[in-house]
Amino acid sequence: MEVGKMTVSINKAINTQEVAVKEKHARTCILGTHHEKGAQTFWSVVNRLPLSSNAVLCWKFCHVFHKLLRDGHPNVLKDSVRNKNELSDMSRMWGHLSEGYGQLCSIYLKLLRTKMEFHTKNPRFPGNLQMSDRQLDEAGENDVNNFFQLTVEMFDYLECELNLFQTVFSSLDMSRSVSVTAAGQCRLAPLIPVILDCSHLYDYTVKLLFKLHSCLPADTLQGHRDRFLEQFRKLKDLFYRSSNLQYFKRLIQIPQLPENPPNFLRASALSEHISPVVVIPAEASSPDSEPTADLVDMDPASQQSLFDNKFDDIFGSSFSNDPFNFNSQNGMNKDDKDRLIEQLYREISALKEELENFKAESHRLGVQLRGRISEREAELAEQLHLKQQALDESDFLRTELEELKKQREDTEKAQRSLTEIERRAQANEQRYTKLKEKYSELVQNHADLLRKTQEQAEVLETLKRELTASKQELQALQITVQSSLQSEAECSSRTAGLEQERDSLVTALAALQAELQHLKAARDSERESSSQRLETLQTQLGEKESREQALQQRLLDEQFAVLQCTVWEAEQMVQDSLNRLEDPTHISCTSSADYLLCRALAASDCIERLQGAHGTYLSNRADVSSLLPCVALFAHLISDTILQGSATAHMAPMDPADLLSETCKQCGSEALRYLGALKDEASLARADCTAVRNCLSRISTIGEELRPKGLDVEQDELGDLVDKEMAATSAAIETAAARIEDMLSKARAGDTGAKLEVNERILGSCTDLMQAIQVLVLASKDLQREIVEGGRGAASPKEFYARNSRWTEGLISASKAVGWGATVMVDAADLVVQGQGKFEELMVCSHEIAASTAQLVAASKVKADKDSANLARLQQASRGVNQATARVVASTKSAKSQIEEKDTMDFSSMTLTQIKRQEMDSQVRVLELENQLQRERQKLGELRKKHYKLAGVAEGWDEDAAE
């Protein structure tokens, strides 16, 4: 390919026109990098372009460069790394512009820098990120640390892709068909390579997280799971929004992520993972293909106009020459026109039928292909599952092999000891054999010597015979006498020498026999000593094995004893929470359905970990370290869920409140039953917490039904509404305090005696309560102001309230409840002082105020720093309100008792008939009151239910906000 042609294509692809880059120009640039095996020409042309002065030009450069990094020659990355700093400087420069393409260019340049850094650190990954599972495993070099770091880098890479995705969508006006306009297509076009990158990065992070969870503890990977969950939700939303844009429907087929994220805590869930596949139709990948008007969703009028234009192209555009114009004078009669119309209708019908057949065949082939794809995906999932099972079995066999190796090493040590003993015994045996051979040799030598002496004796006899013959000859021959005498002397000397030699040989033989006896005794002693030592070592080995077995059993017993102690503590914790449900002081405790759902979810997650730890302990009874913390956490979370469920029931309507309380009690009972099974050796293996999980599920279901709806208020008005409600609450409390002071003044002026004492006591305690509430409201305002100042950053307080709308709605609701409670309590106190009210109503109002202030405290401190001084003042003020409420109740009860003592009836002057009559009247009155009490209770339940359902109307909530 000529350099000039590539230069022209680069300039045509990267220009200042706000239209999408044409695919044929981008394809020419890609082919050019493969032709010259690098990107020298590309950068030589780009460096002459004014990228820092024209945002559209820079945006299209980023798009083309992204495609080159993905599909160009591998040397494109090497030729581009030297320009990385210039891209960073350009990104910072464009980041100062908050409108137009400025922010888009800044974020896109950051993404390209991140992509280059990722592929530089991980050269095994190609530019288009397409890798097989085997290549992905090789990239981590079978090291869990490499997989951990690689996952972090993929998270950073995917985060940059998602930032660009979201920024492009935020810059578009989605209320109009933006994908129709050239400007909209210019912004959307770079998202196609972004979608391709995101699909691969998501697939690889899922597989790497499953691999990490098989090697590392779940707590270590909590940060990875949280980050993945956040990116999963963003990517799922962005894929869904992109698939609805007409611009993408012909250019790319975008996959949809599953409804729920993968559960990495369950290894078998990997087989359920299906890799997202992005499909690019053949016509979309053609170099000459361009987005056309066919991608636009046209209204009926536009479609009709398009049909008319196509009709004009076929039959002619002149109206005067239209064969359907029956008023024209073209020489054609009416019958010919009718036949032509019928012929055209028949052709149209035939074409429609052919089109329907083609659509049906296409649909059938699509269904068939989808079925085959599903079959292949199922086969792939099955193979992955079998692979995982094989890996698990391999791990199990590897563990058994290590244990067998340890046992073999111990056996080899004992065998070496026995071998050493046998070797020493064998050495002694060899020594004995050598001594025996030496003795045999000495015996043989002695026998040889004895044979030699016998031969010499025979020689001597011969000599003697010869001597006799010589003597005879001497007698015969006297001339040889002297010589014969000399020969006799020599024979005598030789005989004496032989006898001396024989004596020395006998002495040596005796010594050798003595030494042989000594060696035999030493051998027998050594053999006996070796046998005794062998028996001793065998005995010690048996004792050691017995001690090891005893120690192993003792370790198992101690581990189970520790487990029993932990389970006993857990039972006490759960039983304490159940006992507190019956405590009268617990009635004033309240909670929210959202917090209850949070605790129930945490308890459910803990049950999953507890079951895994239980199975681990059953497989290895010598290690209880993983089970103990799970049991303690289980007891804590179950107790907290029970208490929060009861506290939530105090604020709920009667029917769901009773159901929630009963479910919480049942949850505690099932938890105690499960803990009891863990504590018993006989039932340890059969312990099952399925019933506890079911109770938590029912608690969550009830909690979901009790969750309040959101306020139907504009987000910009939330900040003003908070200030208004807090000011209204303060004003209501001040008004209530002033009314109480006025009532106290009137009581002192008009009442005397016991009535004055009662009224002063009640009104005084009410005054203290109003003052305590005022202190609480002021502390809540200070803490609220601190939270807003600490969390809003550069945003305004109104923006902070709007961003945290749920928390803001809680403050508004709590403030209204406090002000309303104070007003109602003053009205009740006024009636009691006038003698027209009921003491019970005043006590109920006091409890209601306590609950409302508790709600205000909870709403105020939910976002507060735990070390905040304003939070400490708020908690102190809350305790002051509780104490003041208790004094109101106590003074009311005391006043009631004092008045009832005065009204005690005197029966001393009544007759038997009168007493009987009064008794009957009292029984009738008791029945009436009991029936009235039952009706009032039913009415209370209905009122609570109605109040809960219509709370949105009373408080300005939107019941459809959560739908």
Q: At 279, is the secondary structure helix, strand, or coil?
A: strand
Q: 332 or 660: whose pLDDT is higher?
A: 660
Report the pLDDT value the prediction gives residue 945, as an integer from 0 to 100.
Answer: 66
The domain of 34 spans 1-86
- 691-720 pLDDT, tens digit per residue, is 999 999 999 888 888 765 544 444 446 556
pLDDT of residue 43: 93
* Residues 172, 184 contacting (CB under 8 angstroms): yes
pLDDT over 70 (residue 740): yes
Contacting residues for 502 by C-beta, under 8 A, at least 6 apart: 449, 453
More confident residue, 615 or 377: 615
The answer to the question of residue 816 being in a domain is yes
- The CA distance from 466 to 213, in Å, is 114
What average pLDDT score do residues 515-540 get? 76
pLDDT tens digits, residue range 76-95?
A: 999 999 999 999 999 999 98
Mean pLDDT computed over 857-867: 75
Distances (CA, A) of 609 to 505, 696, 943: 92, 15, 43
Q: Residues 846, 865: one domain?
A: yes
Which tokens go with 351? 């074409």
Identify the helix (H) or strand (E) that includes residue 894.
helix 869-902
From residue 140, give the alpha-carbon distance in Å to each of 241, 385, 389.
Answer: 34, 21, 22
Q: Is residue 662 part of a domain?
A: yes
CB atoms within 10 A of CB 372: 10
Looking at residue 289, its pLDDT comes to: 42
Per residue in 305-357, pLDDT (tens digit) is: 433 444 443 344 333 344 334 344 344 455 777 888 888 888 888 888 878 88
Residues 251 and 141 in one domain: yes
Q: Which residues contact 809 (CB under 8 A, 6 or more apart)?
A: 710, 711, 718
Residues 618-639: pLDDT tens digits? 888 777 888 888 888 999 999 9
Identity of the highest mean pLDDT range in 29-33, 529-533, 813-817: 29-33
| Distance (Å, whole) CA 855 – CA 819 | 12
Q: Are residues 627 and 686 in the same domain?
A: yes
How does residue 442 score in pLDDT terms, banded at 50, 70 and 90? Answer: low
- pLDDT-derived band at 553 (thresholds 50, 70, 90) equals confident
pLDDT at 298: 39
Q: What is the pLDDT of residue 288?
A: 42
| 172 and 273 inside one domain | yes
Q: What secondary structure, in 3-state letters, does 923-958 show?
A: HHHHHHHHHHHHHHHHHHHHHHHHHHHCHHHHHCEE
CA 391, CA 385: separation in Å to the nearest integer? Answer: 10
Within a domain: residue 476? no
DSSP for residue 178: G
Of 280, 314, 348, the position where a domain reaches its end is: 280
Structure tokens given for 772: 């305590």
pLDDT of 296 > 60? The answer is no
Residue 199 confidence (pLDDT)? 93
- Are 41 and 32 in contact, with CB atoms under 8 Å apart? yes
Residues 33 and 75 in one domain: yes
Same domain, 628 and 743: no
Mean pLDDT to the nearest integer, 605-616? 89
What are 279's strand-pairing partners?
253
Cα 627 to Cα 565: distance, rounded to the nearest angstrom: 13
Q: Are residues 739 and 847 in the same domain?
A: yes
- pLDDT value at residue 30: 92
Regarding whether 858 and 824 lie in a shared domain, the answer is: yes
Q: Percentage of residues in the chain with pLDDT exceeding 70?
A: 76
pLDDT of residue 67: 94
Count of the separate structural domains present in the chain: 4
The Cα 861–Cα 882 span in angstroms is: 17
Is residue 689 located within the same domain as residue 570? yes
Residue 61 lies in a domain: yes
Token reading at 247: 């611009």
- Can you tell me the distance from the alpha carbon of 141 to that of 401, in angstroms, rounded to the nearest whole number? 24
Alpha helices in 72-215 (DSSP H): 75-81, 84-95, 102-121, 133-139, 144-170, 182-188, 191-213
| Residue 179 belongs to a domain | yes
- Tens-place pLDDT, residues 876-922: 888 888 888 888 777 777 777 666 555 445 555 666 666 766 767 77
Query: What's 806's domain CATH number?
Result: 1.20.1410.10
Residues 760 and 838 in one domain: yes
Check residue 206 and give its pLDDT.
94
DSSP reduced 3-state for 910? coil
**Residue 42: pLDDT band with limits 50, 70, 90:** very high
Predicted TM-score (pTM) of the model is 0.36
Taking each helix axis from N to C terminus, what angle separates 627-649 and 690-706, rounded to the nearest 10 degrees? 30
Say if 950 falls within a structural domain: no
Between these two residues, 649 and 818, which has the higher pLDDT value? Answer: 649
Domain termination site, one of 63, 86, 109? 86
CB 760 within 8 A of CB 767: no
- Do 11 and 147 belong together in one domain? no
Q: Is residue 844 part of a domain?
A: yes
**115 falls within a domain:** no
Average pLDDT, the chain: 77
**pLDDT digits 0-9 by tens, 802-845:** 666 667 777 777 777 777 777 777 777 777 776 666 777 777 77
Domain limit, last residue, from 706, 733, 766: 706
Q: Are 179 and 200 members of one domain? A: yes
